[in-house]
Amino acid sequence: MSVLLLALTAGAVIGLALGALGGGGSVLAVPALIYLLGFTPVAATTASLVIVTLTSVAALAAHARDGRVRWRTGLLFAAAGTVPAMLGGALAARVPAALLTAAFAVVAALAALRLLRTEPVTDPRTTVRPVPAAAAGAGLGGLTGVLGVGGGFLAVPALVGVLGLRMRAAVGTSLLVITVNSLAALTTRADTLTGLDWGVVAPFTGAAVLGAWDGKRLAAKVSGATLQRVFALVLLAVAAFMLVEAVL
């Protein structure tokens, strides 16, 4: 399979995940860029931020039109993570590649297990809880910067389990968090953008944007409980694969 076809296929799958699940884009994009397209871990994390930022903006607009974005909660959550994301981005270049991959896998697995243990919300909270939102947002921002992820794979469990949003609202709101955190992390990686293979990144991103629109339509047809389980199982599979690769 050609590099272009691989990029288009991987981009479509990742966009579908972002549009339907409100996260998982980076946690899928990073291994796809490393193992399928030959990027180094540092280049893959930078490229994933570019891809996920642009794809999240497209998916966010679609979810916002249907009223599935909790703007106040999302902005507070994201704002608390901006500075940690920038600091984490500066630290990432100093972390050994194997450690970066292993940390990525462990964090993804923990988030998946938490989500599997969290019951789908049937009575969502209607008020913003500033302290938990800020604390969760700050921790997520730091991980976003270090691991080169938009953070949706952690934002969704936090928005459901800590802040009490329903799964559909958590999906839409996480896209706002992803966009802000990814942009903050990218500001510290500007020097690595010029070294990216844009012949791969551009079609990857285009396919991801188109996939995100399809993912949003899919999310409207699937129950919140099903979305939650699928999200968690995808995370566990990716985490297991990356951890094995890091150890071996």
The predicted pLDDT at position 224 comes to 67
Cα–Cα–Cα angle for 231, 55, 8, rounded to 5 degrees: 85
The predicted pLDDT at position 207 comes to 93
Residues of the chain with pLDDT under 70: 1, 23-24, 26, 93, 118-128, 144, 148-151, 224
The predicted pLDDT at position 122 comes to 54
Gap between the Cα atoms of 217 and 181, Å rounded: 25
Gap between the Cα atoms of 147 and 45, Å rounded: 7
Tokens representing 174 are 């996480």
Gap between the Cα atoms of 147 and 38, Å rounded: 18
The predicted pLDDT at position 128 comes to 64
Q: Shortest CA distance to 208 belongs to which of 10, 1, 11?
A: 11
Tokens representing 220 are 């409207």
The predicted pLDDT at position 202 comes to 94
User: Residue 24 to residues 32, 63, 90, 95, 131: CA-CA distances in angstroms?
Assistant: 12, 16, 23, 22, 25
Please count the structural domains in the chain. 1
The predicted pLDDT at position 200 comes to 93
What are the pLDDT digits (tens) for 105-157? Answer: 787 788 778 777 766 655 555 566 777 788 888 887 787 677 766 567 778 77
Q: Shortest CA distance to 27 belongs to which of 117, 152, 182, 155?
A: 152
Q: Which amino acid is at 228?
A: Q
The predicted pLDDT at position 125 comes to 58
Q: In which domain, by residue range, is 61 found?
A: 3-247
Gap between the Cα atoms of 145 and 155, Å rounded: 14
The model's pTM is: 0.74
Cα–Cα–Cα angle for 50, 52, 55, rounded to 5 degrees: 110
The dihedrals phi and psi of 23, each to the nearest 5 degrees, come to 175, -175
Gap between the Cα atoms of 102 and 54, Å rounded: 26
